[in-house]
Chain A
Amino acid sequence: MAFLSAHFVAIVFYVLAVLAVAGGVGVITFKNPVHSALSLLGTFLMVAGLFVLRHAEFLGAVQLLVYAGGIMVLFLFVIMLVNVRRLSPDAAFLSRRAPLAVLSGVVFGALIAFGVLAGSLGHPGGGATALQMVQGHVMGNTEAVGWTLYRHFLVPFEIVSVVLLVAMIGAIIFGRKDAGLEGRGGRMEP
Chain B
Amino acid sequence: MNPTMIPIPSAWILYLSAVLFVIGAIGVLLRRNGISIFLALELMLNSANLAFASFAFRFAGASATAAHALNGQIFIFFIIAVAAAEAAVGLALFIAMYRRKETIDVDRFNILRW
Contacts and interface: CB of A to CB of B under 8 A. Distances in A.
A131 B20 contact: no
Interface string A99-116: 011101110110011001
B114 interface: no
Interface of A: 5-10, 13, 17, 20-21, 24-25, 27-28, 33, 36-37, 40, 43-44, 47, 50-51, 54-56, 58-59, 62-63, 66-67, 70-71, 74-75, 78-79, 81-82, 84, 87-88, 90-94, 97-98, 100-102, 104-106, 108-109, 112-113, 116-117, 120, 123, 125-131, 133-136, 144-145, 148-149, 151-153, 156, 160, 163-164, 166-168, 170-175, 179-181, 188
Contacts of B1: 9, 55, 128-129
B64 A9 contact: no
A59 B43 contact: no
Interface string B3-18: 0111111111111101
A25 B40 CA distance: 10
A181 B46 contact: no
Given A120-B14, A152-B67, A156-B78, A130 B61 contact: yes
Nearest to B58: A126
Contact of A59 (B31, B32, B53, B68): B53
Contacts of A51: 49-50, 53, 76
A126 B61 contact: yes
Contacts of A144: 69-70
Interface majority SS (helix, strand, loop, mixed), chain B? helix
A23 to B, nearest CB: 9
Contacts of A88: 103, 105
Contacts of A5: 2, 4-5
